[in-house]
């Protein structure tokens, strides 16, 4: 990586255009960004001459956005690089789980190869941080995690990552608690879990085991919760209580949490306040065939909300591209966020809360000292990028081009 360089002719959002108090568009400016030691060290107007001899990289007037975060994926599950296969019928979730175990044991293309294809797709889409769940169960041991780690290690210097030790077969059901502990001591940083009621059959013991693992190993938690309505809500309430007791605020997330989309608005507001107080975040894959958590309500009441792609061509779904910007666009479309500000603010769910402009239209990114990780996009503004899933021109990670090219 160059210790210092100029990224020239970068389009940055600078404010909002209004007409009689109505926002009609986004104002932008062309700038040169000085990148030093992986961070933004200076910003000058593009019409101002650069007076040093540092290397220059021309952004060609493309829009800079904060690089993206893939908050929920399964690098070990994807079948990218494999021949086409549809999803076959399964009478019960346990039948699907058995099918998946057989496939992993017999598949000709290694998990590391398939995971690498997913990571290449993510990089090209503008992602520089990935949270991946990896299946942990007795028959496989840590083999699948080791394969994923092999793929991730090949991308060192291009992105950062987190691994969730995910007992897909059920933490209690598959008697995997000690295996999860071993995974946490071998590179995973979060305890996973799935449906303490319907998969594990014991909400209290399942959650307590997860919290004990996280507390004793200095880890976080990311729970898959598909259980609907008040069953799911009961699980959330117990998790919130245990999270507070264990002092794990800010280290716990619940993925999917469909129950928050099933319950009446008043109950959802109360649940949001409970989650915010406990420091529990929500991650959604924005399903099209299922109610999902009320994102704006949660975010407005102080809950951290993120978006992830989840399944990308696997035994659970034949769909998915691995493009997280497409998923942000889906969230905006389903939520009917059609005006300039709503679309632009929708970007925050794939950037860790960072947007070029705040809700009032003030420029808040990039700032001097920010990490120079960004996506260059062929778009006029954030709103267009979200709505139109605009082409990515290049991805920069800490000042280095790591995907596509600016040649």
Residue holding tokens 């969230």?
Answer: 331
The predicted pLDDT at position 405 comes to 66
**Nearest Cα residue to 313 out of 95, 117, 86:** 86
The predicted pLDDT at position 1 comes to 45
Pair of tokens at residue 227 = 């259980």
Q: Give Cα 301 to chain centroid, integer Å.
A: 20
Pair of tokens at residue 148 = 């994923």
The predicted pLDDT at position 317 comes to 87
Domains, the chain, with CATH or none: 4-67+359-404 (2.30.40.10), 68-319 (3.20.20.140)
Pair of tokens at residue 368 = 């001097």
Could you report the per-residue pLDDT of 64-109, keeping only the tens digit for each? 999 999 999 999 999 888 889 888 888 888 888 888 888 877 777 8
Other C-beta atoms lying within 10 Å of the C-beta of residue 219: 23
The predicted pLDDT at position 49 comes to 94
The predicted pLDDT at position 406 comes to 62
Q: Structure pTM?
A: 0.95
Q: Is 119 in contact with 386 (CB distance < 8 Å)? A: no
Helices 111-124 & 143-153, crossing angle to 10 degrees? Answer: 40
Pair of tokens at residue 66 = 């904060």
Residues of the chain with pLDDT under 50: 1
Q: Give Cα 55 to chain centroid, integer Å.
A: 33
**Nearest Cα residue to 71 out of 137, 132, 2:** 132
HEC letters along the chain? CCCEEEEEEEEEEEEEEEECCEEEEEEEEEEEEEEECCEEEEEEECCCCCCCCCCEEECCCCEEEECEEEEEECCCCCCCCCCCCCCCCCCCHHHHHHHHHHHHHHCCCCHHHHHHHHHHHHHHCCEEEEEEEEECECCCECHHHHHHHHHHHCCCCCCEEEEEEECCCCCCCCCCHHHHHHHHCCCCCEEEEECCCCCCCCHHHHHHHHHHHHHHHCCEEEEEECCCHHHHHHHHHHHHHHHHHHCCCCCEEEEECCHHHHCCHHHHHHHHHHHHHHCEEEEECCCCCCCCCCHHHHHHCCCCEEECCECCCCCCCCCCCCCHHHHHHHHHHHCCCCCHHHHHHHHHHHCCCCCCECCCCCECCCCCCCECCEEEECCCCHHHHHHHCCCEEEEEECCEEEEECCC
Residues in a beta bridge with 394 = 376, 404
Q: Is 233 in contact with 196 (CB distance < 8 Å)? A: no
């Amino acid at each position: 990586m160059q210790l210092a360089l100029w990224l020239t002719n970068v389009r940055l959002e600078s404010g909002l255009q209004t007409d009689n108090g109505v926002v009609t568009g986004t104002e932008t400016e062309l700038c040169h960004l000085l990148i030093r030691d992986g961070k933004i060290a200076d910003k000058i107007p593009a019409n101002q001459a650069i007076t040093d001899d540092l290397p220059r990289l021309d952004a060609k007037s493309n829009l800079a956005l904060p690089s993206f975060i893939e908050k929920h994926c399964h690098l070990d599950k994807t079948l990218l690089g494999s021949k086409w296969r549809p999803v076959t019928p399964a009478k019960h979730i346990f039948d699907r789980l058995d099918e998946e175990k057989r496939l992993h044991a017999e598949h000709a293309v290694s998990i590391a190869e398939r995971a690498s294809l997913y990571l290449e797709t993510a990089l090209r889409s503008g992602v520089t941080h990935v949270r991946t769940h990896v299946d942990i169960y007795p028959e496989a041991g840590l083999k699948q995690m080791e394969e994923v780690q092999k793929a991730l290690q090949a991308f060192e210097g291009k992105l950062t990552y987190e691994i969730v030790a995910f007992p897909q077969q059920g933490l209690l059901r598959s008697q995997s608690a000690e295996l999860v502990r071993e995974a946490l001591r071998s590179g995973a940083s979060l305890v996973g879990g799935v449906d303490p009621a319907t998969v594990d059959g014991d909400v209290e013991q399942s959650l307590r085991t997860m919290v004990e693992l996280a507390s004793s190993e200095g880890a976080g938690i990311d729970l898959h919760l598909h259980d609907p309505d008040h069953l799911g809500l009961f699980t959330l309430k117990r998790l919130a209580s245990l999270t507070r007791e264990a002092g794990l605020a800010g280290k716990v997330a619940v993925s999917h949490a469909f129950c928050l989309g099933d319950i009446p608005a008043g109950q959802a507001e109360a649940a949001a306040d409970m989650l915010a107080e406990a420091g529990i975040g929500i991650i959604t894959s924005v399903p099209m065939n299922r109610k999902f958590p009320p994102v704006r309500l949660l975010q407005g009441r102080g809950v951290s909300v993120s978006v992830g792609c989840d399944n990308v061509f696997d035994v659970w779904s034949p769909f998915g591209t691995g493009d997280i910007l497409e998923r942000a666009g889906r969230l905006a479309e389903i939520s009917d966020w059609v005006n300039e500000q709503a679309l632009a603010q929708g970007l925050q769910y794939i950037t860790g809360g960072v947007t070029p402009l705040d809700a009032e239209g003030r420029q808040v990114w990039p700032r001097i000292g920010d990490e120079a990780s960004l996506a260059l996009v062929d778009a006029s503004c954030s709103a267009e990028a979200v709505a139109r899933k605009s082409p990515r021109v290049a991805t920069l990670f800490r000042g280095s081009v790591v995907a596509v090219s600016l040649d």
